[in-house]
Amino acid sequence: MITLAIRLKNLAFLLIAVLVLGYLGIRYADLGRYVGAADYYTVKVQLPRTGGLFTHSDVTYRGVSVGRVGAINLTGDGVEADLRIKKSAPEIPDDAKAVVASLSAVGEQYIDLRPDRSDGPYLANGDRIDRTASSVPKPVTDVLSSVDDLTTSVPLDDLRTVVDEFGKAFEGRGEDLQLLMDNGSQFVQAADKALPETTKLMNDGEVVLRTQAQEGDAIKSFASGASQLASTLKGSDADLRRLVMAAPDAATRISGLLRDLNPEVGVVLANLLTTSEVAVTRQRGTEELLVKLPAAVAAGATAVDGKKVNFGMAVTFFKPLPCTAGYSGTTYRLGTDLSAAPATNTGARCTAPASSGVNVRGSAHAPGGGAVPKPAQPGALSLPSVADDSGTSASSSGMAGLLGLSEGSGR
């Protein structure tokens, strides 16, 4: 006879079994999705191929596991994988890229979600990551085929020759190789210490290379000009050789000339120095003279044509108008006036500004150049190689002495 206690025990056992089976079904058999109790949301990813991905592969967000791969279905141009992301996982921005990666060189594949931002909007249930935002590794078969093509393209005889030569090159060099490896570790340590400077150098190098790329046309033009210059020098090789051979004799003659002109050359240089200082203060006026003088000489040359003389007539001289401002204080005097002349108006001058457009005159409007320098006095300059009172020349036999450089000073 089944007692009430036994029935209660059976009922409790049945209830516990149902709860355990329900937990296992929801937790491990994924039956909770049929009753709305799934602890994940699904995001679909379109891929060109699986790339070694399989159901239950890991799904990571910036390297941290956030879910598993669900069903993988074929599409017209690739595959579509369901990513079951845990609801308890951090929110993932919807611009994430799906990258199929490997745990190691021979490890299993997984999907890593790599967004470009950290704020919303975020991925939600039913979202899709397009094929353009996903990537898969190269098939191993392609790598093996490329390696096989590489190995078959190497001539065996040449490879044997290279191996034999390497053997001869490193034979008996074990200690040297060991020393090289030991010093190599020191080099790596030094490079590691200089990593910030190396990084800065690489960043600055990018700017330099970008500048070189922008100036590519100018560099090509410079290279072309240098090539033309080299070609010209090559064509003038004989002339250059004659010049080089004649240069020592010419230098000797010039040195002798300077020695013979001493000390007169010093006086000439001193006077030229004074002249140059005066010319510098009148540089603008000299420039205007050099500009207008050729035109005046050309006009004079065209005035005489064989036995004829050509004259021209200016209709008016009033271009620009003459300056009248500043002359009103001068009393006009007729030529027939024989009375005593008034005092000369020494203050008469053109007072119109240079920007008035009239023909301003007077020294006040002349190009300024500063004060006139003091003239050089004989003996005021310390000139090299000047004869002393006894008539003995103090000149040096070398160019250094003529230029005022001490012998052997290396200046």
Q: Torsions phi, psi of 89, nearest 5?
A: -75, 160
The number of beta carbons lying within 10 Å of the beta carbon of residue 70 is: 20
Same domain, 63 and 26: no
Nearest residue to 97 via CA among 62, 141, 48: 62
Residue 109 covered by a domain: yes
Same domain, 19 and 103: no
Enclosing H/E stretch for 72: strand 64-74
| pLDDT, mean of each 10-residue run, the chain (411 residues) | 75 83 66 62 90 88 88 89 89 90 78 88 89 84 85 88 88 84 85 88 86 88 92 90 90 83 74 83 83 84 78 72 86 86 85 85 66 60 45 41 42 41
Residue 310 covered by a domain: no
Same domain, 14 and 52: no
What single DSSP character describes residue 93? B
**What pLDDT shows up at residue 31?**
59
The number of beta carbons lying within 10 Å of the beta carbon of residue 356 is: 14
Same domain, 61 and 135: yes
**What pLDDT shows up at residue 369?**
59
Residue 233 covered by a domain: no
Distance CA 154, CA 364 (A): 90
Residue 156 covered by a domain: no
Token pair 């005097």 in the structure block, residue: 333
Lookup: tokens for 233: 């020098």
Task: Show which of 104, 123, 142 is a domain's final residue.
Answer: 142
Same domain, 98 and 12: no
Residue 163 covered by a domain: no
Same domain, 14 and 108: no
Residue 222 covered by a domain: no
**What pLDDT shows up at residue 280?**
82
Same domain, 19 and 102: no
| Structural domain boundaries enclosing 118 | 39-142
Residue 364 covered by a domain: no
Same domain, 55 and 123: yes
Task: Show which of 142, 166, 191 is a domain's final residue.
Answer: 142
Nearest residue to 343 via CA among 353, 358, 333: 333
Lookup: tokens for 6: 């036994």
What count of Cα atoms within 13 Å lies in the side-chain half-sphere of residue 86?
13
Same domain, 14 and 53: no
Distance CA 182, CA 180 (A): 5
Distance CA 219, CA 83 (A): 54
Tally of structural domains, the chain: 2
Enclosing H/E stretch for 366: none
Same domain, 32 and 52: no
